[in-house]
Amino acid sequence: MSNEDQLKALRHSYAHLLAAAVRTLWPEAQNAIGPAIESGFYQDFDMGDVKLSQDDLKRIEKTMRNIVRKWSDFRVWTVSPDEARTAMSWNKYKLEIIDDLASEGNEITLNDPGDFVDLCKGGHIENPAEKMLNFKLLSVAGAYWRGDSEKAMLTRIYGTAFFTEDELNAYLQMLEEAKKRDHRKLGEELDLFVFSDLVGPGLPLWAPKGALLRRLLNDYVQELREERGYTQVEIPHITKKDLYERSGHWEKFSDELFRIHTREGHEFALKPMNCPHHTQIFDRRPHSYREMPQRYSNTTMIYRDEQTGELHGLARVRSITQDDAHVFCRASQIEDEALRIWDIIDAFYAACGFEALRIRLSMHDPENMNAYKGDADMWERAIDGLRKVIAARGVTDFVEAPGEAAFYGPKIDFIGKDAVGREWQLATIQLDMSMPESFDLTCTNESGEKERIVMIHAAIMGAIERFLSILIEHHAGNFPLWLAPVQVMLAPVSDSHEAHCETLATDFAAMGLRVEVDRSGDTVGKKTRRAVKQRTPYLLVVGDKEMSSDKLHIRTRGSEEVMEVDKQEFIERISALDHSKSTEL
């Protein structure tokens, strides 16, 4: 068993331990499901009238430690549906799962580490009393049973666990640092965005500085794309049902669609994806092989009816801005086009301050082809095409991830690590042979015959909202100079110095820099503290001495030292840093 599988088994075992502890403290509680997840584990409970809070977690932890001392290896055995129903007769959620397993003809297994029988397919740690020592319960939340808002709201307890105390402590320290960098708190401090109860949850509103930050990021993506032959297109925000039925999105996203019914009885939807619209732009007229590839870019919003309990700041929203692009090309052009996209990704993420990105090839699950469009042969050809792209880039240490593909094709995922050590999926390059089949997309080849084309989906930021949540926390709001909404703050010592600050501001602006004058009338100390809180890269205090000199007194973000610098030299230097997308100050 790999280290990753062992950790997964450990954490899954803790979910059982958590269920046993809660049942010990509240015998009427019914545990539903409890999987291992990337950051630890959780268990869902129907607690009846009991309302759990953070204050209950220490008590539950203590009970878990007492119980696990008596546990031995998990005993797992197969039972008939009736035997399972008898064992789980007290738990309506387990009975529902048993009925589903029985109707599908699947094997049903129970497990018991000593004093707690549960329904489970297996995957547990050996010697639990010796190995289940390093854990921490983290939070209490709500979750609908089976993710269905029409079903019961359950109590979900999250925890994390590791094999060693050092690993656990390092993770908990990382969580503490992450709290300080929480993009929701920093977004308010930096005046970037706001949520309004009148507008609705999951629908962020962007203040001027936040809107500028979005524009700067997107402009750079579009600049990189235009250098490589992309042209911009535009599409409506709604579509007839027919388009998404043809693409497969209607069935795939049926529960997440915002549906619109017209006065004439037609059914439309707010778009959850852009790619079907782009197929229709390509298909507006016949294309010769001489015109291939066609490269379309389109930054636009999509909409998904996410459950309220799953919304989280900018990381999970209902209005999602995608910096989307689609390449329509011949099979022989896949490698060149994918490598062009890879160049864009490398340039963009270097400018955003991310180190070398890890590569994952996300593939289909051959055992569950019903979850995907197209046949097995089509998928193997698409995966082979992406393997060739990775090989051409000279990458050998990538991982393959069955079951992680989009429903219409495999993808190369770019995984980045933030400043506190968390990994995030960032950009993707997705190869799609399915949608061209669905929409019968072709070009005319050298022999005058119709040739089936392929699509490459290229997301650099993906969801701009989610990317900004990552970027804000990665930099703790200390954005690179080229992204700082205000790059230079001028602080006049008194009203008599404001005119000189205005002149300096004009000089900075002439070089394309973003500058503000603090006209608040506050003391220099207050102005300095405000600039520090706003993470402004450069603060220039202007008094009598500065007015009579070509020297500037500059305080650089992160330093309390005030430097004396030649005015023209400073302006030219930071202008060069800005234009080069440098991450240095």
Report the first-to-last Cα separation within the chain, whole angstroms.
Answer: 47
Which of 156, 411, 466, 475 is flagged as catalytic?
411
Helix-strand-coil percent breakdown of the chain, rounded to 5? 40, 25, 35
Cβ atoms 162, 175 nearer than 8 A: no
Token pair for 114: 């000593």
The residue from 156, 304, 360, 497 that is catalytic is 304
- Which of 183, 326, 373, 535 does the annotation list as catalytic? 326
- Catalytic: which of 209, 360, 457, 514? 457
Cα-to-chain-centroid distance, residue 405: 15
Torsion of CA 180, 359, 460, 301, to 10 degrees: -70
Active site residue 500: no
How far is residue 240's CA from residue 262's CA, in Å, rounded to a whole number? 11
Q: Fill in the amino acid letter for 342.
A: W
CA distance 572 to 562: 19
User: Is 280 a residue of the active site?
Assistant: no
Q: Which of 46, 118, 323, 324 is catalytic?
A: 324
Q: Distances from the Cα of 427 to the Cαs of 195, 386, 402, 444, in angstroms? A: 26, 15, 18, 32
User: 538 and 487 in contact (C-beta within 8 Å)?
Assistant: yes
Catalytic-residue membership of 411: yes
**Which helix (DSSP H) or strand (DSSP E) does residue 50 occupy?**
none
Beta bridge partners of 69: none
Q: Is 183 a catalytic residue?
A: no
DSSP three-state, residue 463: strand
Under DSSP, is residue 205 helix (H, G, I), strand (E, B) or coil?
A: strand
Q: Give yes or no: 324 in active site.
A: yes
Residue that is written with structure tokens 């939070």 in the block = 139
Catalytic residue chosen out of the listed positions 120, 275, 329, 501: 275
Is 457 a known ligand-binding residue? yes
- Dist CA 507 CA 367 (whole Å): 64
Structure tokens at 475: 């930099």
Q: Which two tokens stand for residue 215?
A: 């524009």
Residue with tokens 């050996």: 126
Tokens for 433, please give them.
């042979």
In sign, the C-alpha dihedral spanning 22, 24, 29, 34 is positive
Contact assessment for residue 466 and residue 315, using Cβ atoms and an 8 Å cutoff? yes
Backbone φ and ψ for 147, nearest 5 degrees, come out as 65, 20
What are the binding residues?
275, 326, 457
Residue ranges at the known binding site for Zn(2+): 275, 326, 457
Mind telling me the catalytic residues?
Answer: 275, 304, 322, 324, 326, 411, 457
